Amino acid sequence: MSPGGSSNMGGEQQVDYPVPANRAGVVIGRGGETINQIKEKSGAFVQINKTPPQDHPDWKYFTIRGNQNQIAHAQKLIQVHTTKYLDAVF
Protein backbone atom coordinates (compact mmCIF):
# COMPACT_ATOMS: atom_id res chain seq x y z
CA MET A 1 0.00 0.00 0.00
CA SER A 2 1.37 3.41 -0.95
CA PRO A 3 1.20 6.63 1.09
CA GLY A 4 -2.35 7.89 1.26
CA GLY A 5 -3.68 4.36 1.56
CA SER A 6 -4.21 3.46 -2.08
CA SER A 7 -5.18 0.04 -3.34
CA ASN A 8 -5.77 -1.17 -6.89
CA MET A 9 -8.96 -3.07 -7.64
CA GLY A 10 -9.34 -3.90 -11.34
CA GLY A 11 -8.38 -0.45 -12.63
CA GLU A 12 -10.25 1.33 -9.88
CA GLN A 13 -8.19 2.62 -6.98
CA GLN A 14 -9.08 3.92 -3.55
CA VAL A 15 -7.15 6.54 -1.59
CA ASP A 16 -7.72 7.98 1.87
CA TYR A 17 -6.77 11.65 1.53
CA PRO A 18 -5.99 13.56 4.78
CA VAL A 19 -7.31 17.06 5.41
CA PRO A 20 -6.84 19.07 8.62
CA ALA A 21 -9.97 18.57 10.73
CA ASN A 22 -10.61 22.32 10.90
CA ARG A 23 -10.83 22.46 7.09
CA ALA A 24 -13.00 19.40 6.41
CA GLY A 25 -16.15 21.53 6.46
CA VAL A 26 -14.73 23.73 3.69
CA VAL A 27 -14.28 20.64 1.50
CA ILE A 28 -17.83 19.46 2.20
CA GLY A 29 -19.42 22.89 1.78
CA ARG A 30 -22.89 24.10 2.74
CA GLY A 31 -25.33 21.24 2.24
CA GLY A 32 -22.60 19.16 0.58
CA GLU A 33 -22.37 21.60 -2.33
CA THR A 34 -18.56 21.68 -2.58
CA ILE A 35 -17.98 17.94 -2.26
CA ASN A 36 -20.69 17.34 -4.88
CA GLN A 37 -18.89 19.74 -7.26
CA ILE A 38 -15.62 17.89 -6.61
CA LYS A 39 -17.31 14.58 -7.45
CA GLU A 40 -18.89 16.02 -10.60
CA LYS A 41 -15.73 17.72 -11.90
CA SER A 42 -13.35 14.83 -11.12
CA GLY A 43 -15.64 11.89 -11.89
CA ALA A 44 -14.39 10.23 -8.69
CA PHE A 45 -16.38 8.97 -5.72
CA VAL A 46 -15.51 11.23 -2.76
CA GLN A 47 -16.78 10.80 0.78
CA ILE A 48 -15.59 11.78 4.24
CA ASN A 49 -14.48 8.78 6.25
CA LYS A 50 -16.84 8.59 9.23
CA THR A 51 -14.38 6.50 11.27
CA PRO A 52 -10.97 8.16 10.94
CA PRO A 53 -7.95 6.68 12.73
CA GLN A 54 -8.09 7.62 16.41
CA ASP A 55 -4.34 8.24 16.52
CA HIS A 56 -4.80 11.34 14.30
CA PRO A 57 -7.66 13.39 15.83
CA ASP A 58 -6.54 16.61 14.12
CA TRP A 59 -7.12 15.09 10.66
CA LYS A 60 -10.17 13.98 8.72
CA TYR A 61 -9.82 11.56 5.85
CA PHE A 62 -11.70 11.66 2.58
CA THR A 63 -12.09 8.37 0.72
CA ILE A 64 -11.57 8.89 -3.01
CA ARG A 65 -12.32 6.12 -5.50
CA GLY A 66 -11.83 6.07 -9.25
CA ASN A 67 -9.12 5.70 -11.84
CA GLN A 68 -5.74 7.32 -11.33
CA ASN A 69 -6.68 10.52 -13.21
CA GLN A 70 -10.00 10.92 -11.37
CA ILE A 71 -8.28 10.51 -8.00
CA ALA A 72 -5.54 12.98 -8.87
CA HIS A 73 -8.13 15.52 -10.06
CA ALA A 74 -10.22 15.11 -6.87
CA GLN A 75 -7.11 15.52 -4.70
CA LYS A 76 -6.18 18.70 -6.56
CA LEU A 77 -9.69 20.14 -6.15
CA ILE A 78 -9.67 19.34 -2.42
CA GLN A 79 -6.29 21.01 -2.11
CA VAL A 80 -7.54 24.11 -3.96
CA HIS A 81 -10.52 24.43 -1.60
CA THR A 82 -8.43 24.06 1.55
CA THR A 83 -5.91 26.61 0.21
CA LYS A 84 -8.70 29.08 -0.70
CA TYR A 85 -9.90 28.80 2.89
CA LEU A 86 -6.43 29.60 4.23
CA ASP A 87 -6.13 32.62 1.92
CA ALA A 88 -9.50 33.92 3.15
CA VAL A 89 -8.53 33.52 6.83
CA PHE A 90 -5.04 35.06 6.59
- Model pTM score: 0.80
Write the pLDDT tens digit of every residue in 20-66: 999 999 999 999 999 999 999 999 999 999 887 788 888 999 999 99
pLDDT of residue 1: 36
d(CA 80, CA 66): 19
3 state SS for the chain: CECCCEEEECCEEEEEEEEEHHHHHHHHCHHHHHHHHHHHHHCCEEEECCCCCCCCCCEEEEEEEECHHHHHHHHHHHHHHHHHHHHHHC
d(CA 36, CA 47): 9
